[in-house]
């Protein structure tokens, strides 16, 4: 069976395997054909591929229709890119299809180029991470759901710009501390590699 699908590369492995979060199949692991160059698979790349499934849970990339590499120019942007991809890799189970999660991933990646912007005194990327953690349903933190609503209002073009009233009184440091506290609840937290680069002052 050959299927064409769109996805974002979450992780690459030295064995040649890839972990891709796709719009139609969720998170999958696959291998590229031997003729493909491993260097063309860069994490954060958005690609359209034709996938062959020969056995259950055994996928091979037959060929690539299109690939768009991330436009990363600073160390800070690189850290945020890897952080978002790492969260998707560890939090989302295999083969759980969620168009919503895929669409939000595209929004998160777009915000990487806006890492100096904020709403009030809150960094957009911290707001995006709070939104992701709320969407997973893994954490019982009421504040996360409030931040998630603010983020969804922000990315909805029909909502007028300005500082939401619900952001008044929120401190950037307290938001980062909440994010870190949630991340520490994950059973594989010790495998996260991006935490010290972004939350070093709080770890």
Q: pLDDT tens-digit profile of 5-33?
A: 899 999 998 888 899 999 988 999 988 76
Confidence of residue 188 (pLDDT cuts 50, 70, 90): very high
Confidence of residue 167 (pLDDT cuts 50, 70, 90): low
| pLDDT score, position 115 | 66
pLDDT tens-digit series, residues 37-86: 666 788 999 999 888 887 777 788 887 888 889 888 888 889 999 999 99
| pLDDT score, position 2 | 63
For CA atoms 74, 41, 17, 7, the dihedral sign is positive
| pLDDT score, position 83 | 93
pLDDT of 144 higher than 70: yes
pLDDT tens-digit series, residues 104-139: 898 888 888 776 666 666 778 888 899 899 988 888
Angle at 33 between CA 10 and CA 3, to 5 degrees: 70
Confidence of residue 161 (pLDDT cuts 50, 70, 90): very low
pTM here is: 0.86
| pLDDT score, position 90 | 96
To the nearest whole number, what is the mean pLDDT of the chain?
Answer: 82
């Amino acid at each position: 069976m050959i299927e064409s699908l769109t996805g974002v590369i979450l992780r690459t492995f030295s064995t040649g395997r890839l972990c891709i979060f796709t719009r139609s199949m969720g998170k999958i692991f696959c291998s590229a054909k031997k003729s493909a160059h491993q260097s063309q698979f860069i994490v954060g790349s958005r690609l359209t591929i034709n996938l062959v499934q020969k056995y259950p849970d055994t996928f091979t990339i037959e060929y690539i229709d299109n690939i768009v590499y991330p436009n990363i120019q600073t160390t800070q942007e690189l850290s945020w890119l890897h952080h978002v991809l790492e969260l998707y890799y560890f939090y989302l189970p295999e083969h759980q299809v969620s168009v919503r999660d895929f669409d939000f991933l595209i929004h998160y990646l777009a915000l990487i180029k806006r890492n100096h912007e904020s709403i009030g005194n809150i960094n957009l990327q911290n707001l995006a991470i709070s939104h992701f953690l709320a969407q997973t349903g893994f954490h019982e933190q009421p504040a996360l759901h409030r931040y998630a609503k603010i983020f969804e209002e922000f990315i909805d073009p029909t909502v007028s710009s300005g500082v939401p009233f619900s952001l008044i009184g929120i401190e950037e440091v307290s938001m980062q501390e909440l994010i870190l506290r949630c991340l520490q609840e994950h059973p594989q937290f010790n495998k996260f590699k991006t935490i010290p680069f972004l939350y070093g002052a709080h770890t």
